Amino acid sequence: MIAFIFPGLNALLRKVDRNRFTHLPEVQEHFSRAEKVIAERFGQHVSFKEFLNLPAEEIYALKNISLAAVAICCIQVGVALRLRKQIGDPQWVMGCSLGDLARAVFAECYSFEDAVYNHIWFTQKIDGIDKIGKNIGVLAPRGQNFTAADYQWFEKICVDVSCLTPRFLNIGGRYKDLLKVEELAKEKNWNIIDILNYPVHSRYILPYVQVVASEFATVNTYTPRVPIFSSVSAQALENPDVIKAEFLLCITQAVQWSKAIQCLVNEKGVTRFINIGPCKSLTGLMKDIPVTVETHEASDLLLQSVDLEIVQ
């Protein structure tokens, strides 16, 4: 049993990842469709080919974050559709954070054009979010996991914790609270990694989500073609209204990636995960999650397909 997994916003940090799939016709087609939506609906002329060649710090600047999200969605949807032609539909799809956008489009419960328009439209209302706080990654030493006492302490200081693996957390919070985490990290030999300069997956982004909640309720969603599993609730998503609600919830709620992976394996019988990419972050996380599975890169599978075509 196979699950496609879709990485989040960090997928464009490395130039090699940004360019990994840009040659695929399916990806180029989605870049063109997105550029058309942006031109017709917002009066802006964007070239994703040029955008992806910008320095990472410019791609991830707050003013460009919606374009980065759309670029990732284009790449991931194109790759997943290419894989569908090669191996058919997976039994499950699951996204990590922003990966929810592409997994919903691929599952055909959200149209691509709506995804592009809505993401850009609703993220226009996030000015000032970078003044509140940020997200940091916290990695425990090899062989050590975070304890119940650690989680209680995080709750006490009012930060929100996404458990990606038993030893790697994505923590969102206010700058002043995250300083306490960084101080404790020195005592416990935790490694701190800056992830985003705005606190997604935390309670502190909630006011920005509430501003658009009533308008977002008019968005059209449909019953998915492929079963969707939530990395927020660690449950299957079937109802279009619940899927729509999760688009906003996943911004303010912690991601339970480790728990969701274990549920897919232990309860749903998934034995193979295919990382859609373009980055390989989710493959790396799998090494620290207590499951026995096969993990494959979409890039490797598609390369094998090309090799087979050449041989034939």
d(CA 76, CA 11): 10
Sheet hosting strand 168-174, strand order edge to edge:
160-165, 168-174, 133-139, 191-196
Maximum alpha-carbon separation in the chain? 62
Q: What is the pLDDT of residue 249?
A: 79
Mutual orientation of helices 99-106 and 112-122 as an angle, nearest 10°?
A: 150
What residue ranges do the domains of the chain occupy? Answer: 2-127+203-311, 133-196
Given a cut of 70, whether residue 305 has pLDDT beyond it is no
Least confident of 37-41, 50-54, 58-62, 158-162: 58-62
Q: Is the Cα torsion angle 166, 171, 177, 181 positive or negative in sign?
A: positive
The two tokens of residue 139 are: 């990695």
Ranges of H-type helices in 157-256:
175-188, 206-216, 240-252
Are 2-127+203-311 and 133-196 equal in CATH topology?
no
Q: What is the pLDDT of residue 70?
A: 97
- Write b or e for each residue in 59-94: b if 16 or more Cβ atoms lie within 10 A of its Cβ, otherwise e: bbeeeebbbbbbbbbbbbbbbbbbbeeeeebbbbbb
Given a cut of 80, whether residue 128 has pLDDT beyond it is no
Q: What is the pLDDT of residues 209-218, one digit of tens each?
A: 888 888 888 8
Q: Is the Cα torsion angle 163, 165, 166, 172 positive or negative in sign?
A: negative
Mark residue 45 as left, alpha or beta (left: phi above 0; alpha: psi -120 to 50; beta: remaining). Answer: beta
Given a cut of 80, whether residue 44 has pLDDT beyond it is yes
Given a cut of 70, whether residue 141 has pLDDT beyond it is yes
Kindly report the average pLDDT of the chain as a whole number: 92
Residue labelled with tokens 């493959």: 283
Q: What is the pLDDT of residue 129?
A: 81
Q: What is the pLDDT of residue 161?
A: 98
The answer to whether the bond into 290 is cis (omega within 30° of 0) is: no
CB 35 within 8 A of CB 46: yes
- Quickly state the pLDDT bin for 307 (edges 50, 70, 90): very low
Given a cut of 70, whether residue 146 has pLDDT beyond it is yes
Q: What is the pLDDT of residues 255-279, one digit of tens each?
A: 999 999 999 999 999 999 999 999 9
d(CA 233, CA 246): 9
- Quickly state the pLDDT bin for 303 (edges 50, 70, 90): confident
> Global pTM?
0.94
- Write b or e for each residue in 16-31: b if 16 or more Cβ atoms lie within 10 A of its Cβ, otherwise e: ebbebbbebebbbebb
Does domain 133-196 correspond to CATH entry 1.10.3470?
A: no
Protein fold of 2-127+203-311? Malonyl-Coenzyme A Acyl Carrier Protein; domain 2 (3.40.366)
Please count the residues of the chain. Answer: 312
d(CA 279, CA 12): 7
d(CA 201, CA 193): 16
The predicted model gives 294-310 an average pLDDT of 74
Q: What is the pLDDT of residues 67-124, one digit of tens each?
A: 999 999 999 999 999 999 999 999 999 999 999 999 999 999 999 999 999 888 887 7
Q: What is the pLDDT of residue 39?
A: 97
The predicted model gives 280-304 an average pLDDT of 93
Q: Is the Cα torsion angle 75, 76, 79, 81 positive or negative in sign?
A: negative
Given a cut of 60, whether residue 287 has pLDDT beyond it is yes
d(CA 285, CA 168): 8
